[in-house]
Chain A
Amino acid sequence: MSNQIRKVLDKSFSAAAYCALVVMSLTVVVFLTPIIVNGIGAIVFKATVEHEKFLMENLDREYSEKVLQRIAEANAAREPLYKMMRDYERGDSAAYKKRLDNGISRALAHIESGSDKIFALLNETSAEARVRMAAEFSRLAWFEYLTELDLAAKEARASGNSMALAKVLQAQEDEISEAAKAALNELGEKKKLTFSQKSMLRRAFTHGVFEELKAKEGELHDDDDAYIAVKHGIEELLGPATQGDKEKYKLMRQKYGQTRMSLAEDVLKNSILTISITRANAEGAEVSQRIDSLKFFKNTPVEKMLLYVEDNIDAMLRPHWTIYWGFFTDNPYDSSIFGGIWPMILGTFYLTAGAMIMAAPLGIIAAIYFAEYAKEGKIVGILRMCVGTLAGVPSIVFGLFGLTFLINTLHVSDNKSVLAGAITLALLILPTIIRSCEEAVKAVPNSYREAAAGLGAGKWRGICSVILPSALPSMLTGIIISMGRAAGETAPIIFTAATSTGAALAVWEIFSQPTPALPWNIYNICSEHEMADKVQHVQYGMVLTLITIVLALNFAAIVIRARMQKKLKS
């Protein structure tokens, strides 16, 4: 081969070698970049006023005037939207009032015989009073209320219990708003009606309204479905419209709108501007379809609402950049949709500390024995082979052992617990600790040992006073790196210590209670969670936190080693 070719080959090999390094560095960058960027996004993000409302009301955060003003401005920006919705639900006011008026008139015709006097009275009732009453019945919520009331009245009547019926009628009286009461009382005063006559009057009004609305129900069904879908979308975006609605809801996620602007924009796109409705398709089968709301509601009042939401979303939510340190210190609320990840961080801490407390002393002593005392015989050889094999055993096998032996057979705890998980992790990192500590002890120069012996120290004294301290930096490094491994391990703790939900444990609870832990919860939240796309920021945040903890431990180990080596060398 000519020299030229050899040179070319040499250069190309060098190029390939550099490429390999570049590929490795690129791998690190490609791997860490999305995690760091999105993980930081969990803490530094564009928050909306809903986020601050949540923190104020649930975590007792105090806020400045500026923030309270912002909340007030956001609420003010929402008012026009809510007004539009109320008007729509009420329908066109004049037409709706006429509808109710018709209903009331028809209802008057249903009043039982023996009450011609009432009939006459009602006929004389001023239109104005009727209109006022009708206005009070105009909220959509009345529809549900009337349905319930009707059911209750039917039941009461069926039971034949006049007391029950009176109770229902009394309940009606309690529910009717002030203006309606005033109108009725005014009428009653004028005409000197008795209690039962007043009740019948009220009954007639509510009954009539109910019938009328029911008649219109079928017509509005389809449109209503789509409108209700849009309404749900708006509620998902902004939260409940009134305090009454808010108290009605039990789940935290329904009590607040979107706390993060990026999620809010998703909701706008997927739940308001496009919606899912159930319709009959060409073959007549009912199918679920996604439709474009603006197209569907073209030239209707709902289109105006949709355009208002789209144009004013910033005014209604007032997004602003914020740093949410509470991500690390707050408990999670409602399946991690709100709040932070404190119990997971604490659980990881307990497990790692527990594993180290159990494994480090045993490992150090075993390493000293192997390095100093053990004679190279068959037994020691077998022991070494066992330690070596176990170092290569998959972590899931440790988990299996922990579950079947520690929990099911030994019953170290009644159920999953931090104790069982820590023991399993300790067993996992033990071989590595023994190996690295043994090497650290072996690396101590023989001159140290000879010096100690020369000064008259017994073997044990020599170890304690001379060898241990000088081997300590390397041992500590190995132990801390093993701690980093224990912190990141998932498979051993799945069935021995980790749960998907739980409170942050106090120290005395770790012996009998399981805990959430970062590695397991990362797996859980990106696969099993029921709203995985709503909590993506939490996923990335947890991964970033775990990687930071492990890397911090490794970094600490390196720094300790460097420092102690400097100290010993000086």
Chain B
Amino acid sequence: MNQEMHKRAQTLILDRHNSAARALFGLLGRAALLAVTALPTLAIIFILFFIVRESIPFLDNLPRVKEFFTSTHWAPSKEVDPSFGALSIFYGTLMVTVGSCAVAVPLGVIAAICLSEIVSPKFAGIFKPVVELLAAIPSVAYGFFALVVFAPILQNHGGFLLSALALLAGLPACAIIGIAFSDMALSKMLRNPNKNQKAAFRVIITVALCALPVAAAYKLFSVEIASGTNAFNASIILAIMALPTIVSISQDALTAIGRDMREGSLALGSTRSEMIFKVILPCAKSGIAVAVILGFMRVIGETMVVWMASGNSLKIPEPFYNFLEPVRTLTATIAGEMGEADQSTGSARYHVLFAMSFCLLVAGLLLNGASQWIGSNRKKK
């Protein structure tokens, strides 16, 4: 190693050009560098500009823009009087995003907390590949899984799956809440409860509470899912895709907090979970917010999974929270209509796709700006 450094130092020391020539060379080189850098950045700006420019002919027309955002009637290929009401498509995007983040954010944040606080660093290092694995899998593989494996399961065993999920998620949660609540209530009622009273009370309240998920499971068991490709399918798969982003960025934010915070809190007698909830999380909340926003961005921009597995139906589900119905998203619409729309054969049809891209761009811009702002706020602190 020393030899290498020595060699390198030699080459550097031999850099004995005439200082004027070197200055000129430096300037030219810098200009050249700027030019070369400008190329990709210009390309990037040009793409943004191109999208905005091509969407203007659609956005120019005010009544059409109003229809775009408020009507659910989407029929762009009609020859006479085509309609471009994209409300159901926006709603589909919203539904799938909200659904997937509702699953991914709690799961991801808790997993990140676990990795940074609860398990040993060695184990966290071993678990890292699992998270990176999930991140590296291509989206079309997820879409394939959603369409070929998950959709038939939902289709044929939907009720069973949903009730199993209700039990799996509900029973532990209710057990925990039941035990905690029973202890709290008991301690409020009796001054010094003995073991038997405690145990009995715990059992009663826990069993009572657990009746909730069991009832839910029973009701869900008989649900017939009409079609396996629906918002639920897409949401679950998108949640899996967003998890790695949320987990890794949250984990970074959590581990960046200094040890002194943790030790101080523990010294004051808090349990580990109290330390996490009352000290660490508030500290890391901006980092976690950034993670959630990035997860959001990943989900909004996903094309293949929703194209293959969300059903592509133009109706807003009824009731509005019914995830078991098919929906259509913006990205799937662009992918589906892209081939036929052309500058010459139907200008509105062509420009509306750019209008949708523009909306996605704006959403991305806002989210990106938000995450940067939160990130910079954190730095200020």
Report which A residues bind B (CB closer than 8 A).
1-2, 4-10, 12-21, 23-25, 27-28, 31, 34-35, 359, 362-363, 365-366, 368-370, 373, 383, 385-390, 392-401, 403-405, 408, 427, 430-431, 434, 452, 455-462, 465-466, 481, 484-485, 487-491, 494-495, 519, 522-523, 526-527, 536, 539, 543, 546-547, 550-551, 554, 570
Query: Is B243 on the interface with A (CB-CB < 8 A)?
Result: yes
Residues of B within 8 A of A6 (CB): 271, 274
Give the shortest distance, in Å, between B175 (CB) and chain A (any CB). Answer: 8
Residues of A within 8 A of B33 (CB): 365, 368-369, 373
> Cβ of B51 and Cβ of A389 under 8 Å apart?
no
In angstroms, Cα B131 to Cα A312, docked, is 50
Give the shortest distance, in Å, between A364 (CB) and chain B (any CB). Answer: 10
> Cβ of B36 and Cβ of A365 under 8 Å apart?
yes
Residues of A within 8 A of B45 (CB): 386
Give the shortest distance, in Å, between A313 (CB) and chain B (any CB). Answer: 27
Please pick, from A8, A24, A368, A460, the residue contacting B26 in the complex, using a CB distance under 8 A: A460
> Cβ of A383 and Cβ of B334 under 8 Å apart?
no
> Cβ of A551 and Cβ of B179 under 8 Å apart?
no
> Cβ of B54 and Cβ of A12 under 8 Å apart?
no
> Cβ of A404 and Cβ of B149 under 8 Å apart?
no
- B contacts with A: majority SS: helix
> Cβ of B180 and Cβ of A8 under 8 Å apart?
yes
> Cβ of A550 and Cβ of B137 under 8 Å apart?
yes
Query: Is B297 on the interface with A (CB-CB < 8 A)?
Result: yes
- Residues A386 and B48 in contact in the complex (CB < 8 Å), given A17-B111, A17-B114, A551-B133: yes
Please pick, from A13, A390, A395, A570, the residue contacting B47 in the complex, using a CB distance under 8 A: A390
- Please provide the chain B residues from 23 to 72 with a CB less than 8 Å away from any CB of chain A in the complex: 25-26, 29-30, 33-34, 36-37, 39-41, 43-45, 47-48, 50-51, 54
In angstroms, Cα B272 to Cα A373, docked, is 46
Q: In this complex, which of A8, A370, A389, A427 has the most chain B Cβ atoms within 10 angstroms of its Cβ?
A: A389
Give the shortest distance, in Å, between A553 (CB) and chain B (any CB). Answer: 8
Query: Is B300 on the interface with A (CB-CB < 8 A)?
Result: yes
Please pick, from B8, B22, B180, B274, the residue contacting A12 in the complex, using a CB distance under 8 A: B180
> Cβ of A393 and Cβ of B304 under 8 Å apart?
no
- Please provide the chain B residues from 181 to 227 with a CB less than 8 Å away from any CB of chain A in the complex: 183-184, 187
In angstroms, Cα B15 to Cα A291, docked, is 89
Please give me the residue from chain A that is nearest to B361 by CB atom.
Answer: A393
Query: Is B20 on the interface with A (CB-CB < 8 A)?
Result: no
- A contacts with B: majority SS: helix
Give the shortest distance, in Å, between A304 (CB) and chain B (any CB). Answer: 37
> Cβ of B26 and Cβ of A458 under 8 Å apart?
yes
- Residues A366 and B140 in contact in the complex (CB < 8 Å), given A386-B44, A389-B361, A400-B334: no
Query: Is B367 on the interface with A (CB-CB < 8 A)?
Result: yes
In angstroms, Cα B179 to Cα A465, docked, is 64
Residues of A within 8 A of B83 (CB): none
In angstroms, Cα B241 to Cα A28, docked, is 11
Residues of A within 8 A of B334 (CB): 396-397, 400
In angstroms, Cα B15 to Cα A485, docked, is 41
- Residues A9 and B361 in contact in the complex (CB < 8 Å), given A456-B12, A488-B138: no
Please give me the residue from chain B that is nearest to A368 by CB atom.
Answer: B33
Residues of A within 8 A of B1 (CB): 570
Please pick, from B51, B139, B149, the residue contacting A34 in the complex, using a CB distance under 8 A: B149
Query: Is B335 on the interface with A (CB-CB < 8 A)?
Result: yes
- Residues A10 and B353 in contact in the complex (CB < 8 Å), given A392-B297, A394-B301, A401-B47: no
Q: In this complex, which of B47, B302, B372 has the most chain A Cβ atoms within 10 angstroms of its Cβ?
A: B47
> Cβ of B44 and Cβ of A400 under 8 Å apart?
no
Please give me the residue from chain B that is nearest to A6 by CB atom.
Answer: B271
Give the shortest distance, in Å, between A83 (CB) and chain B (any CB). Answer: 42
CB pairs A–B below 8 angstroms (27 shown): A1-B184, A4-B183, A8-B180, A12-B176, A12-B180, A13-B273, A16-B110, A17-B110, A25-B130, A28-B130, A31-B240, A366-B36, A366-B37, A369-B34, A383-B41, A389-B361, A390-B47, A392-B368, A393-B361, A397-B51, A397-B361, A404-B343, A456-B13, A465-B11, A543-B141, A550-B138, A551-B133
Query: Is B89 on the interface with A (CB-CB < 8 A)?
Result: no
The 5 A-B pairs of least Cβ separation, nearest first, read A488-B138, A394-B301, A17-B114, A13-B273, A10-B271
Please pick, from B147, B274, B353, the residue contacting A400 in the complex, using a CB distance under 8 A: B353
In angstroms, Cα B276 to Cα A14, docked, is 11
> Cβ of B138 and Cβ of A519 under 8 Å apart?
yes
Please give me the residue from chain A that is nearest to B244 by CB atom.
Answer: A24
In angstroms, Cα B138 to Cα A488, docked, is 5
Please give me the residue from chain B that is nearest to A16 by CB atom.
Answer: B110
Residues of A within 8 A of B172 (CB): 15-16, 19
> Cβ of A488 and Cβ of B364 under 8 Å apart?
no
Q: In this complex, which of B127, B130, B141, B145 has the most chain A Cβ atoms within 10 angstroms of its Cβ?
A: B141
In angstroms, Cα B341 to Cα A109, docked, is 71
In angstroms, Cα B339 to Cα A462, docked, is 49
Please pick, from A21, A455, A551, the residue contacting B115 in the complex, using a CB distance under 8 A: A21
> Cβ of A24 and Cβ of B41 under 8 Å apart?
no
> Cβ of A455 and Cβ of B9 under 8 Å apart?
yes
Give the shortest distance, in Å, between A6 (CB) and chain B (any CB). Answer: 5
In angstroms, Cα B187 to Cα A14, docked, is 23
Query: Is B357 on the interface with A (CB-CB < 8 A)?
Result: yes
In angstroms, Cα B54 to Cα A460, docked, is 41
Query: Is B90 on the interface with A (CB-CB < 8 A)?
Result: no
> Cβ of B147 and Cβ of A526 under 8 Å apart?
yes
Give the shortest distance, in Å, between B149 (CB) and chain A (any CB). Answer: 5
Residues of B within 8 A of A12 (CB): 176, 179-180
> Cβ of B13 and Cβ of A9 under 8 Å apart?
no
> Cβ of A519 and Cβ of B36 under 8 Å apart?
no
> Cβ of A16 and Cβ of B176 under 8 Å apart?
yes
Give the shortest distance, in Å, between A549 (CB) and chain B (any CB). Answer: 9
- Residues A487 and B131 in contact in the complex (CB < 8 Å), given A16-B176, A394-B301, A526-B147: no
In angstroms, Cα B111 to Cα A494, docked, is 36
> Cβ of B273 and Cβ of A408 under 8 Å apart?
no
Residues of A within 8 A of B26 (CB): 458-460
> Cβ of B141 and Cβ of A488 under 8 Å apart?
yes
Residues of A within 8 A of B48 (CB): 386, 389-390
Give the shortest distance, in Å, between B171 (CB) and chain A (any CB). Answer: 11
> Cβ of B133 and Cβ of A461 under 8 Å apart?
no
Please pick, from B22, B47, B114, B118, the residue contacting A458 in the complex, using a CB distance under 8 A: B22
Residues of B within 8 A of A457 (CB): 12, 15
Give the shortest distance, in Å, between A369 (CB) and chain B (any CB). Answer: 4
Please pick, from B111, B148, B300, the residue contacting A20 in the complex, using a CB distance under 8 A: B111
> Cβ of B183 and Cβ of A2 under 8 Å apart?
yes
- Residues A455 and B36 in contact in the complex (CB < 8 Å), given A8-B179, A427-B47, A488-B139: no
Residues of B within 8 A of A456 (CB): 12-13, 15-16
Give the shortest distance, in Å, between B273 (CB) and chain A (any CB). Answer: 4
Give the shortest distance, in Å, between A405 (CB) and chain B (any CB). Answer: 6
> Cβ of A547 and Cβ of B41 under 8 Å apart?
no
Q: In this complex, which of A24, A431, A466, A488 has the most chain B Cβ atoms within 10 angstroms of its Cβ?
A: A24
Give the shortest distance, in Å, between A569 (CB) and chain B (any CB). Answer: 9
Give the shortest distance, in Å, between A42 (CB) and chain B (any CB). Answer: 14
Residues of A within 8 A of B273 (CB): 9-10, 13-14
> Cβ of B12 and Cβ of A465 under 8 Å apart?
yes
> Cβ of A393 and Cβ of B301 under 8 Å apart?
yes
> Cβ of B271 and Cβ of A9 under 8 Å apart?
yes
In angstroms, Cα B15 to Cα A462, docked, is 10
> Cβ of A394 and Cβ of B302 under 8 Å apart?
yes
Please pick, from A24, A383, A394, A481, the residue contacting B130 in the complex, using a CB distance under 8 A: A24
Q: Please encode chain B, from 340 to 381, with 1 for each CB lying within 8 Å of some chain A CB and 0 for all others.
A: 001100000000011001001100110111001000000000
Residues of A within 8 A of B164 (CB): none
Residues of A within 8 A of B357 (CB): 394, 396-397, 400
Residues of A within 8 A of B127 (CB): 21
Residues of A within 8 A of B145 (CB): 31, 34-35
> Cβ of B11 and Cβ of A35 under 8 Å apart?
no
